[in-house]
A and B are shown apart, each in its own frame.
Chain A
Amino acid sequence: MKSKTFEKHSYTFMLLGLMAVVLLFFTALKGGMMWKGDVWLGIAMQFPEYGVVTLGLMFCFICGKMDMSFMALGNFATIMAVMYMGAHADSPAGGVILVGIAIALGIAVVGGLINGLLVAYLDIPPVMATISMQLVWTGLSVALTNGNTVKGLPSLYTDIGHTYLLGFLPVPLLIFLVIFAVAWWLLQHTVYGEKLYMVGTNIKAAEFSAINTRRMVIGTYILCDVICCIGCLIMISTMASAKADYGTSYVMRCILILVLAGVLPDGGMGRIDNVLIAIVTIQIIATGVNMFPNLNTYYASLIWGALLLVVLVMSTRMSSGGFLRLRAKKAAKA
């Protein structure tokens, strides 16, 4: 029985093992520096913004689709939000912030809807459709801002990114945890989650089983882009501004995390708990690399690229056993 449990979670154990190896590696090189409280607070502060984005993209991947447009869309949405908030600086901050957030999320819904329509109704391959949309959103942002940063966020908003609740819990982390819980619930406990895995595995069979696959694809793109936009809303808070090309490196980083976690873009695969482990592991690597001030930042890009390749090679060689979906405990007993 015990070995069966191990087999079921073997990939999770492998990921935890990888995290331990990474920690040991940096400890060996940097000694106690890796274990200072500040370092870990920094980690907890930094991963939520792209962690949230990754959770959004996860839905797209499980559905067997791809989204390359989410950061460009998120940047456009937040630029619009910041512009609105800047223009109403003299009104009460609370109300302005809420309207600003609503504007950003509204734009994300529209962006997701367009992606979904292109893919589900016009049958454009997801990568092409969303790369085109990426260019459209980036173009709009640059046209609006001339490529400059947009400032003027109320200080109440920029504080969000730097506040520690009860002195130790960063607000971005809290937002991440809430979104993580919602995503978990959606995947594990709702009919939507059930359909998502089935549609992602074989969309044609799902259609032949009287499932509205087009609605599923469109809904998933909207969900993905809205969650990604929330990530961008956290990002502008820590940056205190919005810009057309913020976080563009997150696109590849999110894909890296998902592939590492076993959420392959083929669809129908992957567990959200593995995604969490992969997000944290990647942040530890990022933090660790930053501890070498002499290291040229361009090497970081090299490291990420090499890592993505290694993970891709690994994942294509792994038996699919590791990438099963997670089952609710109650059901597993039945």
Chain B
Amino acid sequence: MSEYLLQMTGIDKSFGGVHALDHVNFAIKPGKVMCLAGENGCGKSTLVKIISGVYTRDSGEVMFEGRAIEKITPADATRMGIQVIYQDLSIFPNLTVMENLAINSEITANRKIVNRKRWEQTAREALSKIGYEIDLHKKMGELSVADKQLVAICRALLFNAKLIIMDEPTTALTKKEVDALFKTVRQLRDSGIAIMFISHKTEEIFEISDDVCIMRNGKNVFLGETATLTKKDFTYYMTGREIEDDYFVPTNISKEPVLKVEHLTWRDKFHDVSFELRKGEILGITGLLGSGRTELALSLFGLGKVHSGTITLNGRPVKISSPIEAQRLRIGYVPEDRLTEGLCLRQPIADNIMLSSLKQLTRALGMIRHQELFEKSNEWVKTFSIATDDAHKHASTLSGGNQQKIVLSKWLNNDLDVLILNGPTVGVDIGAKQDIHALVHDLANKGLAVIIISDDLAEVVVNCNRVIVMKDGGIVGEMTGDRITEENILDIIR
């Protein structure tokens, strides 16, 4: 029997004409944490789906516990001990923790009658496997993402999982929750379970993994021990290019503040928030989920409430009652959730870019200037090198980074004084992230006032000349220049 739990060699998979996986090799040992890393669209999820039996490979060999595996279905994979915890967690939000934990084994055992005692027993057994405690009778939908994840892990363990695959589990977690998750992962690893951890966050991968498999464009470019890699190598393998951190150096800060916020309060969301913002500055606002950072941004964009306090813009007190008013006051907002708040995915790229500037395209009788719509949006496609050959194609055809460029150009096509970016690079791969950062630096130095709201501390440190830290709805710290480091921010947040 080989030392590997799962060994895959020369895996090929094509969809139509697209070669999604090109002779990929992959192997994982029991009792190890293996990270599968790569930018969006590199073939990570295809590989996972082949392992879990959702897709069938075109060619290549798969060995599981030393036996060659031919075709498998998802049910086979579960029986063999392969469990996938997807990003959406596949839970029933309207059922309780207990019911979620017990339902699968009840169904597998083909039981028809509900026995609450047995259900509770199954659920307790599941939780005890990782020594995790939670109210069994809470509705799943009321739990935080982190708790849902732990419940999902417990459920996986009920199936005597030998290999647990976690698909970007840390995306929606705070730092503290990530630490807790990693503790559990290590615990599982020490009990002999193999963990496959999918991520594109460099820090996390170095913290948690024993081995790493890096993929790029459907090929694996690195497979080996994490310890043998430097972060620089890692970035190079991920992107295929050398990337240096490019710190923001403000060169053009105005004397007078363009935006002044005083004692702003939205009851139960944030309170007594005051700050100033000058032209040419990039101000970072950071804090954990629920610290009030997003709500503050919404209030500045007319989608939140203001119970007390004042907002002064260019020296004049203003009331921002709607996004339409915000736009008139030359404030733009790039929302947190690109897919639901930023884009009309089933509409052309061009129309998305011009969505907030339709006034410019109006002529007599409310008619639209189609020609101009395409010319203008094509200019933005060129300026931002948005990866498309035709702006008529739907926004959904683009990757996360390119989609974010659409949302950015939508606002930059307006004449702005203040641009608020909420999580500007969430789900964006390293290459596009650099592009967006460079662009924002450039805009600031041309006189735009920028606010970046982010919980990606590395992003805040590199891109902001001033940082405000929020906690429980209030400002708990402010730092400038060299004082901005991840350690200093973490000291305040925790």
Binding site for B on A (CB under 8 A): 189-195, 197-198, 201-202, 204-212, 268-269, 320, 327-328, 330-332, 334
Contact = CB atoms under 8 A, between A and B. Distances in A.
Contacts of B365: 190
B335 interface: yes
A208 B333 contact: yes
Given A198-B347, A198-B351, A210-B327, 14 more contacts: A189-B367, A190-B366, A190-B368, A195-B358, A201-B344, A201-B346, A202-B344, A204-B340, A204-B341, A206-B355, A209-B410, A211-B356, A212-B322, A212-B324
Nearest to B325: A210
Contacts of B342: 205, 208
Q: Which 8 A-B pairs have the closest CB atoms?
A: A331-B370, A201-B344, A210-B327, A334-B374, A209-B356, A209-B355, A210-B323, A202-B344
B358 A207 contact: no
Contacts of A195: 358
B346 A207 contact: no
Contacts, number: 88
A120 to B, nearest CB: 13
B36 interface: no
A104 B153 CA distance: 62
Contact of B324 (A189, A198, A204, A210): A210
29 contacts: A190-B367, A191-B358, A191-B361, A195-B358, A197-B347, A198-B351, A201-B346, A201-B347, A202-B340, A202-B343, A202-B345, A204-B341, A205-B340, A205-B341, A205-B342, A205-B343, A207-B303, A208-B335, A208-B342, A209-B410, A210-B322, A212-B324, A268-B344, A268-B346, A327-B370, A328-B370, A331-B370, A334-B371, A334-B375
Interface centre among A193, A205, A331 (most CB of B within 10 A): A205
A205 B345 CA distance: 10
B24 interface: no
Nearest to A202: B344
A191 B335 CA distance: 24
A188 to B, nearest CB: 9
Nearest to B362: A191
B326 interface: yes
Nearest to A328: B370
A86 B348 CA distance: 52
Contacts of A189: 367-368, 370
A320 B346 contact: yes
Interface centre among A212, A268, A331 (most CB of B within 10 A): A331
B392 A327 contact: yes
Contacts of B355: 198, 205-206, 209, 211
Given A195-B358, A197-B347, A201-B347, A208 B323 contact: yes
Interface centre among A190, A209, A327 (most CB of B within 10 A): A209
Given A190-B366, A204-B340, A331 B374 contact: yes
A133 to B, nearest CB: 27
B351 A194 contact: yes
A191 to B, nearest CB: 5
Given A198-B351, A332-B392, A191 B367 contact: yes
Interface in B338-388: 340-347, 351-352, 355-356, 358, 361-362, 365-368, 370-371, 373-375, 378
Interface centre among A189, A192, A194, A195 (most CB of B within 10 A): A194
Nearest to B365: A190
Given A194-B368, A206-B355, A211-B355, A269 B340 contact: no
Interface centre among B342, B351, B370, B375 (most CB of A within 10 A): B370
A190 to B, nearest CB: 5
Contacts of A206: 344, 355
Contacts of B366: 190-192
Nearest to A214: B322
Contacts of A327: 370, 392
Nearest to A189: B367
A332 B367 CA distance: 17
A204 B333 CA distance: 13
Contacts of B335: 208
Contacts of A190: 365-368
